[in-house]
Amino acid sequence: MFQDPEHQFVAATVADELAIGLRALGHSRSDIDARVSDLLEQLHLGRLARANPFTLSGGEKRRLSVGTVLATSPAVVFLDEPTFGQDRNTWVDLVRLVTAQLDAGTSVVSVTHDADYLELLGEHHIHLHDVRIEAAA
Domains belonging to the chain, first-starting first, are 5-121 (3.40.50.300)
Mean pLDDT, the chain, whole residue set = 88
pLDDT value for 3: 60
Condensed to tens digits (0 to 9), the pLDDT of residues 22-77 reads 999 999 999 999 999 999 998 999 999 999 999 999 889 988 998 998 899 899 99
Average pLDDT over residues 88-102: 89
pLDDT over 70, % of the chain: 90
Average pLDDT over residues 88-116: 90
95: which residues sit within 8 A by CB, 6+ positions away? 83, 117, 120, 121
- Residue 107 DSSP label: E
Distance CA 43, CA 89 (A): 10
pLDDT value for 39: 94
